[in-house]
């Protein structure tokens, strides 16, 4: 199998052979530097904190991963909880972009600030030139993506959203860490344009569905009416009823629950460059 670094370098070389405008390339690190400097996942559900570690590193602020994780306040899944609480923990596991911004500022003792740009609904923006312009201004982008979108054919649907630092862009290619990867502009845009929802696999639901499970609590959340709007309770009941059907009948593969995350790009920069972020505007919504 081709080593990951070599695969990404090959893709980069192929992109450089394309007709590439001056607005379509910017790199925080070379691929080799990213391989050497990137932080691998520092803990369960901690992709957000991991991204912040690398953000601070890219901006010249050295903070221990454990301290960053404490500041980001990563939330964990409660795998042993009854089904309603288990689903609630899934909906907020990890971190939101707000936690990343607050965590980066706290961990850096105020040296680093961030601003989030929503990409849902879909924005009228050429993503690669937009990212390149910010990287050249000294900003460090982090993508918050729904990885359950744009899943390659034949691959299993992932079970989570993901935060990844973007360390560079070239024509129609975006380079990210944790894991070191390169994706097309189209693929990234699809994952950045998502409703705040999460798919939960059938097996993960049914193995926690016990006779004494209080499913009505799924529709009674006073803090988030989306649980009732999405009829999560009804989805679970349907999934349970399907267990009594003939084996060859089609069945739900997932239920859809609310997610705490918003899809988009967070730009981080040194505080002395904060005015650059404050003066920027969110790209227009596509019709």
Q: What is the pLDDT of residues 200-225, one digit of tens each?
A: 999 999 999 999 999 999 998 777 89
Q: How high is the pLDDT of residue 240?
A: 96
For the chain, percent of residues with pLDDT exceeding 70: 87
pTM for the full model?
A: 0.90
Q: Tell me: the pLDDT tens digits for 53-68?
A: 999 999 999 999 999 9
The answer to whether the beta carbons of residues 29 and 168 sit under 8 Å apart is yes
- The pLDDT of 121-129, averaged and rounded, is 92
Cα separations in angstroms, 137 against 8, 100, 108, 168: 25, 21, 20, 13
Residues with Cβ within 8 Å of residue 124, at least 6 apart in sequence:
283, 284, 285, 286
Where do the domains of the chain lie, and which CATH numbers do they carry?
4-194+261-270 (3.90.70.30), 198-257 (no CATH)
3-class DSSP state for residue 168? strand
The distance from CA 110 to its chain's CA centroid, rounded to whole angstroms, is 24
pLDDT band at 18 (very low <50, low <70, confident <90, very high): low
Is the dihedral angle over the CA atoms 158, 224, 232, 122 positive or is it negative?
negative
The answer to whether the beta carbons of residues 192 and 120 sit under 8 Å apart is yes
The answer to whether the beta carbons of residues 8 and 32 sit under 8 Å apart is no
CA atoms within 13 A on the CB side of 160: 17
Q: How high is the pLDDT of residue 151?
A: 95
**Distance, CA of 106 to CA of 126 (rounded, Å):** 32
Looking at residue 277, the DSSP 8-state letter turns out to be H
């Amino acid at each position: 199998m081709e080593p990951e670094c070599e695969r990404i370098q090959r893709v980069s070389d192929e992109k450089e052979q394309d007709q590439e405008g001056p607005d379509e390339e910017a790199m925080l690190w070379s691929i080799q530097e990213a391989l050497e400097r990137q932080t691998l996942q520092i803990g369960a559900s901690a992709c957000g904190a991991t991204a912040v570690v690398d953000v601070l590193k890219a901006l010249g602020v050295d903070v221990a991963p454990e301290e960053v994780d404490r500041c980001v306040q990563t939330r964990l899944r409660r795998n042993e909880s009854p089904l309603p609480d288990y689903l609630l923990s899934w909906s907020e596991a990890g971190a939101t972009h707000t936690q990343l911004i607050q965590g980066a500022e706290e961990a850096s003792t105020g040296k680093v600030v961030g601003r989030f740009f929503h990409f849902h609904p879909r924005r009228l923006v050429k993503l690669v030139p937009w990212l390149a312009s910010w990287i050249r201004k000294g900003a460090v982008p982090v993508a918050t993506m729904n990885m359950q979108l744009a899943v390659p054919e034949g691959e299993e649907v992932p079970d989570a959203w993901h935060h990844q630092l973007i360390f560079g862009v070239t024509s129609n290619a975006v380079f990210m860490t944790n894991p070191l990867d390169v994706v097309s502009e189209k693929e990234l845009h699809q994952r950045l344009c998502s409703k705040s929802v999460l798919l939960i696999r059938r097996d993960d639901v049914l193995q926690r569905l016990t006779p004494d499970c209080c499913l009505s609590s799924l529709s009674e959340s006073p803090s988030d009416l989306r649980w009732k709007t999405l009829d999560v309770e009804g989805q679970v009941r349907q999934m349970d009823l399907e267990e009594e059907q003939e084996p060859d009948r089609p069945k739900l593969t997932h239920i859809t629950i609310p997610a705490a995350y918003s899809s988009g790009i967070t730009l981080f920069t040194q505080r002395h460059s904060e005015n650059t972020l404050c003066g920027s505007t969110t790209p227009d919504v596509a019709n």
